Amino acid sequence: MARFHDLTVTDIKKTIRDAVVVTLRPENGAAADFDFTQGQYLTFRHDFDGEELRRSYSICAGKDDGVLQIGIKRVEGGAFSTWANEDLKIGDRLQAMPPMGGFFTELNSDNANHYLGFAGGSGITPVLSIIKTTLAREPKSSFTLVYANKGVNTIMFREEIEDLKNLYLGRFNVIHVLESDAQEIDLFTGLVTEEKCAQLFEHWIDIDSVDTAFICGPEPMMLGIASALRKAGLDDSQIKFELFASAQPGRLARKVVAKDAAKSANMTSAAITLDGATQTFDMPKDVTILDAALENAMDAPYACKAGVCSTCRCRVLEGEVEMVANHALEDYEVEKGYVLSCQSFPLTDRVIVDFDQ
Ligand SMILES: Cc1cc2nc3c(=O)[nH]c(=O)nc-3n(C[C@H](O)[C@H](O)[C@H](O)COP(=O)(O)OP(=O)(O)OC[C@H]3O[C@@H](n4cnc5c(N)ncnc54)[C@H](O)[C@@H]3O)c2cc1C
Ligand code: FES
């Protein structure tokens, strides 16, 4: 199975000084593979001076827009995002995996729901896709967006959001919260913290009517919002997250186990299924399932290797693993045995793992 597909860049637009919206066309009959669900992301790979980097970018288009579009904000000193903002041109070819991710809820035209979205900076990209698709496909539902940015000049998709407000009058409300630009209403200036959310729920947002909340932005902001939502009565199943990067420290480096310890207590017999084929091999217990699969020439999917994106998700069918970080999987997935293979170390002498489920 081809994991990466060629995509041609058909358009590039600056949405603000430091961010581009890139339109992509799948090549070689791969269009159906890129039929996405609102809120999903694409994982790209690109060679930088002989080193392959993989980065994920959320689709910002709605399902009914008829285009595949992503928004890339330049991160200071960032390799991929700087290249995309400065060097990428119309006509260039990129390579990406088909859409992935579970940052969405099922839509139904009979629903009359109230959705609440929180986006910080480039965190708007998946939220915009969700807003556009939901308002188009659920004519009785409404959406409130709280959008946090440094200042007016850094608001991605500002005009598009204004157009949506006009198109869906009465069903789409936006509250811009700006960190440094003063606004008429004091509450709309500063950072989106737990306290600010509590005040918004008191004066501006009817939190009791909210069915689902979507949050995407910097990690501390997301944690504050989630806490405020829980205190306001939402349960975890009503709160959906998408994290772009985690500031939490990664796992500590683990001691390397000598190869000749093959039969020792530090080894596990692993059976790993990928693309319908199963490989069995011995692996050290201090190597992740993902790295063991890659070392054994299996083309296992991955992107961040930091427990953030979920590209490397697999299911443990037998045995136990320890997942040392998880910023991506929801509780119900973990209960079903899904793990992030880039963060999972075998605990038992035998593990059976499936990447295809
Ligand atoms: C599921 C998922 C979806 C994503 N969707 C989008 C999207 O739609 N638009 C978008 O612009 N980005 C998105 N990202 C983030 C993106 O994948 C990259 O992490 C980001 O562009 C930085 O990559 P880089 O190669 O430019 O920087 P790197 O060279 O990897 O990093 C340079 C420096 O920036 C820091 N850094 C890395 N990522 C961020 C970040 N997001 N914010 C602030 N500092 C950071 C690093 O710690 C490092 O110090 C998404 C990430 C995930 C996991
Ligand atoms: S590769 Fe991103 S969570 Fe494992």
Give the ligand whose atoms come closest to the C-alpha of residue 313. Answer: 2
Identify whether residues 193 and 142 lie together within a single domain: yes
- The pTM is what? 0.92
pLDDT at 109: 98
Identify whether residues 118 and 230 lie together within a single domain: yes
d(CA 90, CA 87): 10
The model's pLDDT over 200-227, given as tens digits with 9 standing for 90+, comes to 999 999 999 999 999 999 899 999 999 9
Residue 254 lies in a domain: no
The model's pLDDT over 84-100, given as tens digits with 9 standing for 90+, comes to 999 999 999 999 999 99
What's the CA-to-centroid distance between 190 and ligand 1, angstroms?
23
Identify whether residues 120 and 206 lie together within a single domain: yes
d(CA 125, CA 73): 10
Residue 198 sits in a domain of what CATH number? Answer: 3.40.50.80
CB 53: neighbour CB atoms within 10 A? 13
- The CA-CA-CA angle for residues 93, 95, 98, to 5°, reads 130
From 242, 272, 293, give the residue that closes a domain. 242
Give the ligand whose atoms come closest to the C-alpha of residue 289. Answer: 2
Residue 106 lies in a domain: no
Give the ligand whose atoms come closest to the C-alpha of residue 128. Answer: 1
pLDDT at 254: 41
What's the CA-to-centroid distance between 38 and ligand 1, angstroms?
20
The residue whose CB lies within 8 Å of the most ligand 2 atoms, and thus the one to mutate among 3, 310, 323, 329, is 310
Does the C-beta of 340 come closer than 6 Å to ligand 2? yes
- Name beta bridge partners: 271: 280, 352
From 216, 242, 268, give the residue that closes a domain. 242
Does the C-beta of 78 come closer than 6 Å to ligand 1? yes
Residue 253 lies in a domain: no
Give the ligand whose atoms come closest to the C-alpha of residue 18. Answer: 1
Residue 322 sits in a domain of what CATH number? Answer: 3.10.20.30
The residue whose CB lies within 8 Å of the most ligand 1 atoms, and thus the one to mutate among 86, 219, 244, is 244
- CA-nearest residue, atom 5 of ligand 1: 57
Residue 29 sits in a domain of what CATH number? Answer: 2.40.30.10
- Name beta bridge partners: 322: 345
**How many structural domains is the chain composed of?**
3
Identify whether residues 227 and 335 lie together within a single domain: no
Residue 228 lies in a domain: yes
Residue 310 lies in a domain: yes
Does the C-beta of 102 come closer than 6 Å to ligand 1? no
Identify whether residues 122 and 235 lie together within a single domain: yes
User: Which ranges of the chain have pLDDT less than 50?
Assistant: 249-262
pLDDT at 248: 58
From 35, 64, 96, give the residue that closes a domain. 96
Identify whether residues 277 and 225 lie together within a single domain: no
Domain extent for 211: 114-242
Identify whether residues 229 and 275 lie together within a single domain: no
CB 8: neighbour CB atoms within 10 A? 14
